[in-house]
Amino acid sequence: MKGNCVLYGVYVSIALICTYLEGFISLPFVTPGIKLGLVNIVILVVMYSPGVKAAFAVSITRVLLVGLLFGNGFTILYSLSGALCALFIMAFSQKTNCFSEIGISILGAVGHNIGQLLVAMAVLNTVNVVYYFVVLLVAAIITGTSIGVLAKKIIPRIKVIQERGVK
Amino acid sequence: MKIADKILIAAIASLILVVFVFIKLSEAEAGYLDISYDGELIYRCKLNYEGSFETEYGNIIDISKGKVSMIWADCPDELCVKQGVISQLGQSIICLPNKTVVQIIQ
């Protein structure tokens, strides 16, 4: 883990840039809470090549940094619960070995939605946000699939680079 | 794309469909009941209200489990009582002698 410090740093910074870039992309059917989830590419790549533990480390570091840079304690709470929920679901679905990157990506998107809606329910003290979950699920299929396809293209290439680096 | 991925997408899509249909249905059911006399609204309640309401003009309307019926009327023909139960959006019971209209609205 020590030797990979630089690598993790690079991944965290790429994740940060992805979050920043995503702020410029506005989806045509703007409903609050719907995001492309570019960061998930980074998390997926990390999950496949260094491993699940690294993915947890990179994701949590990223959430804390983004929260400190652009948000406040409240936004940290939202994104942390979303990120953790997504990570647990993704890690579990990777372990089962029946999903490809696309499936894991979709599950990650759904996990994000679940985590954030749970916090929203606790904060707003209402169950009505469940209806909103349906809208988010539609978005999760679309964004999850596109991010998954991208990750599927990227992961083998990153692996080649890493193997060359080891030699 | 593995088979499990396709199953996952299909499962989420069907979940969306089911919840969507459920929301649509529950929206249609949850309406209000309006009781008016001579064109003026005298009483309004939710359709899920349980109990009965007596108007000043000689009618008793019963509401239970989303079903509405006129259970008593002082008019001679009692057509409104014979009409039975209404429960769907837009349906109404009209008691002409007493100028009373009971209607289910959204």
Give chain B's mean pLDDT.
84
pLDDT at B13: 92
Nearest alpha carbon to residue B72 among B54, B85, B48: B54
Q: Given this model, what pLDDT does residue A108 score?
A: 95
B69 has pLDDT over 70 = yes
Taking the Cβ of residue A98 and every Cβ of chain B, the question of whether any pair is shorter than 8 Å is answered with yes
Longest dimension (CA), chain B: 73
Task: Report whether A103 contacts B4 (CB < 8 A).
Answer: yes
**Stretch B20-35: mean pLDDT:** 76
Tokens of A160: 């080649």
For residue B17, the distance in angstroms to the closest alpha carbon of chain A comes to 9
Helix (H), strand (E) at residue B41: strand B40-46
pLDDT at A124: 74
User: Cβ–Cβ of B16/A140 closer than 8 Å?
Assistant: no
pLDDT tens readout for residues A64-77: 999 998 888 888 88
What is d(CA A159, CA B95) in angstroms, rounded to the nearest whole number? 80
> Does A129 contact B at CB distance below 8 Å?
no
Answer whether A102 touches B (CB < 8 Å). Answer: yes
Instruction: Tell me the torsion sign for CA atoms A118, A119, A121, A122.
Output: positive
Question: pLDDT tens digits, chain A, 167 residues: what are they?
Answer: 556 788 889 999 999 999 888 878 766 655 666 788 889 999 999 998 888 999 999 999 999 999 998 888 888 888 899 999 999 999 999 998 889 999 999 999 999 999 988 988 888 777 767 777 888 898 899 999 999 999 999 999 988 887 787 55
- Return the pLDDT at B53: 87
pLDDT at B94: 85
Average pLDDT over residues B35-55: 86
Are B12 and A141 a contacting pair at CB < 8 A?
yes
Given an 8 Å threshold on Cβ–Cβ distance, is A99 in contact with B4?
yes
